[in-house]
Structures are given as structure tokens and as C-alpha cells.
Structure 1
Amino acid sequence: MSSIKSFKPLFDRVLIQRLRNSEVKTTGGIFIPDKVGNKTNEAVVIEVGTGRRTGNGFAVPLLKKGDRVLVNESPIGERIKVNGVDCEILSENDILGFMEN
């Protein structure tokens, strides 16, 4: 897989980067090792498309760059490298919700 410099998703597609297990920590600040914790489902939104078209023809994006989201555990999107970083292209429907700190 070759790396590309930039990528802009179309319509209701979202470019995400999954967070690594080593980045998962408890509220007390303790990092959870890979062997103990489950596979992380958290991701950061890197880029968003224009959004899904509504009945009146307007595009409505749900997400914005930098949002932390919860996604399905299994890889369901197309995997690409953007500036050497492993990313996935998903539909907005594949994102389960927002994460807050």
C-alpha cells in the first residue's frame, strides 16, 4: 500500500485513524497494556466529506476534524496510508458515537 499526501472523502464518508491500545488509559491516568485490555474501538476523525444529502438536497456533515469517535471493532473500511499514517475510510453509518474526555 503506497502512501498518499492528502485525501478528501466524498459525501458521507469519513477518514479516521484508530487509536492504539497503548494510548488507552484509565481515568486515574494508568495505561492499560495490550494483553490486558480489549482491542480499542476509539478513533480520531482526520477528514470528513461534504455530508449526506437530505430530502431538500442540502448536504449535512455529522462529524468534524479532530472528533474522537467509537467505531466497530472489526475493520470494515478501506485501509489507506495518508502521509505515512494508517487510516481507514468509513461511512458515517459505521461510526457508533462520539467520545468525550
Structure 2
Amino acid sequence: MSSSIKSFKPLFDRVLVQRLRNSDIKTGGGIYIPDKLANKTHEAIVIEVGTGRRTVNGFAPPLLKKGDRILLNESPLGEKITVNGIECEILSENEVLGFMGN
């Protein structure tokens, strides 16, 4: 992860993520799953998180944190951006299907 990405800070309940390539998906036995056979969810790494969701009393803290491995839908829901040559996405925290922690 580049230090230039670390300097980007999403707002509110948004998270900056970097998707892992499908070819990185393998079974517990070490067999790589081809793209066409992989399920339609994708893994990503949380690079940076915002301050949290706005509430009547201020902010609710984000559930995700830097370094969390998360699952996303195949189709991009957020905005694709390039930060110093590295492809990332900005998503709302509620677009994340689940997370595995660090």
C-alpha cells in the first residue's frame, strides 16, 4: 500500500478500498479458482475509513477499520478512482457485504 493512498481520507460513512484480483482466490487445499468459476462476490482490503455515519447526536463510529478484508458484490457500487496510479473504490459502509477483520 502506497503512502500516497494513506493520505486520502474518505468522508463520513465512506471507505476507500482496493479490490483483490479474482486470481488471488484459492480453496483451502491451495487450488486456484478460475475467474469464470468464482462466485460473484469479491474480496477487498480497506485502505482508509471516514469518521462515521451522521446521527442526530453527532457521529456513529465506523464498523470497519484499516486493513479489514471485506466482501463486495461483483459490480462496483461506489466510485472508482485512481490515487497515484493505484485503482481504488470509494464505497458507503452499507454497501459492504461483510468483513473478516485483520
CA contact under 8 A between 2:13 and 2:92: conserved in structure 1? yes
SS of the aligned residue for 1:41 comes to strand
For the pair 1:30 / 2:59, whether they are aligned, the reply is: no
Percent of pairs identical after alignment?
79
Poorly superposed stretches of 4+, deviation over 4 Å: none
For the pair 1:17 / 2:21, whether they are aligned, the reply is: no
- Contiguous gaps of at least 5 residues in structure 1: none
Pick closer, same or farther for the CA change 1:5–1:14 going to 2, 3 Å: closer
CA contact under 8 A between 1:67 and 1:98: conserved in structure 2? yes
CA contact under 8 A between 1:53 and 1:60: conserved in structure 2? no
1:75 alignment partner in structure 2? 76
SS of the aligned residue for 2:37 comes to coil
1:85 alignment partner in structure 2? 86
Cα RMSD (Å) of the superposition? 2.4
SS of the aligned residue for 1:22 comes to helix
Partner Cα separation in structure 2 for residue 16 and residue 60 of structure 1: 18
CA contact under 8 A between 2:23 and 2:35: conserved in structure 1? yes
Matched residues, number:
99
TM normalised by structure 1 equals 0.83
Partner Cα separation in structure 1 for residue 6 and residue 85 of structure 2: 8
Partner Cα separation in structure 2 for residue 82 and residue 64 of structure 1: 19
TM normalised by structure 2 equals 0.82
SS of the aligned residue for 2:46 comes to strand
Larger displacement relative to structure 2 (23-32 or 34-43) = 34-43
Residue 79 of structure 1 aligns with an amino acid whose one-letter code is: K
Query: Where is the helix percentage greater, Structure 1 or Structure 2?
Result: 2
1:41 alignment partner in structure 2? 42
